């Protein structure tokens, strides 16, 4: 979803998993791939893991999409250590590229399903912010309160999770969840920032069955 027109990174399948040699094959393979692909551009890294799920596959990260495109065209089906390589673009940007482009989002180290969901939602959110920013969003005229009121929250929505989402909007101060009631208060440092978060996040799906319903908190 984050790459419509190619990718700096190529995803390689059908690599020979057992090259006859002394060392660990995936480490050797990394070097072989590096050498081969370097003929077609600057290779920033080769990722080639040994776990079962990743066997026979690798990622070759080029500096530019053009280089990757070129390499893919010229090496598609290339016979390499007895097997023909299958090349395609990686589905996602590689971390090094994302960092270079200032678009990297910290990846959780332990991959519990909750963390995964959180990470995924952050990505979706990033996209929606990008799209909405074209619409001109707010101009301060409707910053009626610096505290937002969320209701109809599911029990599975945690305070930390809300913090992650609303924290992506500048000016975020804190979130207070009243989980028994399924409501929360999200506070920003000023009205305008709160308004932007409201506009950007109202209706945002936090789970398949729950979307954010946001209004301004009543003034106390």
Residues that bind DNA (CB under 7 A): 9, 11, 13-14, 47, 49, 52-57, 59, 61, 88-96, 107, 109
Cα-only R_g, the chain: 23
User: What is the rounded CA–CA span in Å between residue 207 and residue 210?
Assistant: 5
Closest approach, Cβ 90 to DNA, in A, equals 4
DSSP class of residue 52? G
Q: Are 43 and 34 in contact (CB under 8 A)?
A: yes
Q: Which long-range contacts (CB under 8 A, 24 or more apart) does 162-171 make?
A: 162/186, 164/118, 164/121, 164/122, 165/121, 165/122, 165/125, 165/201, 165/204, 165/206, 166/197, 166/201, 168/122, 168/125, 168/126, 168/129, 169/193, 169/196, 169/197, 169/200, 169/201
Closest approach, Cβ 34 to DNA, in A, equals 14
Closest approach, Cβ 91 to DNA, in A, equals 4
Closer to DNA by Cβ: residue 8 or 192: 8
Q: SS3 for 70? A: helix
Closer to DNA by Cβ: residue 17 or 28: 17
Closest approach, Cβ 218 to DNA, in A, equals 44
Closer to DNA by Cβ: residue 4 or 180: 4
Q: Are 197 and 184 in contact (CB under 8 A)?
A: no
- CA torsion 204→159→177→120, rounded to 10°? 10
Closer to DNA by Cβ: residue 9 or 146: 9
Closest approach, Cβ 54 to DNA, in A, equals 6
Closer to DNA by Cβ: residue 27 or 54: 54
Closer to DNA by Cβ: residue 86 or 132: 86
Closest approach, Cβ 18 to DNA, in A, equals 12
User: What is the rounded CA–CA span in Å between residue 5 and residue 45?
Assistant: 21
């Amino acid at each position: 979803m984050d790459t419509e027109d190619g990718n700096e990174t190529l995803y390689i399948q059908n690599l020979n998993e057992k090259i006859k040699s002394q060392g660990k094959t995936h480490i050797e393979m990394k070097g072989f791939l590096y050498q081969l692909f370097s003929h077609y551009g600057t290779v920033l890294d080769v990722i080639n893991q040994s776990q079962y799920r990743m066997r026979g596959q690798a990622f070759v990260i080029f500096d530019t999409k053009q280089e990757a495109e070129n390499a893919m065209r010229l090496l598609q089906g290339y016979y390499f250590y007895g097997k023909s390589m299958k090349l395609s673009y990686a589905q996602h940007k590689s971390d090094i590229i994302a960092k270079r482009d200032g678009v990297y989002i910290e990846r959780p180290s332990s991959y519990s399903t909750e963390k995964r969901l959180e990470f995924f939602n952050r990505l979706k959110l990033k996209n929606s912010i990008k799209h909405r920013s074209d619409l001109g969003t707010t101009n301060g005229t409707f910053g009626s309160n610096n505290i937002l009121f969320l209701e109809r929250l599911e029990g599975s929505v945690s305070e930390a999770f809300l913090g992650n989402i609303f924290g992506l909007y500048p000016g975020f101060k804190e979130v207070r969840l009243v989980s028994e009631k399924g409501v929360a208060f999200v506070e920003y440092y000023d009205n305008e920032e709160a308004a932007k978060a409201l506009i950007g996040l109202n209706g945002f799906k936090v789970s398949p069955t729950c979307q954010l319903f946001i209004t301004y908190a009543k003034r106390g």
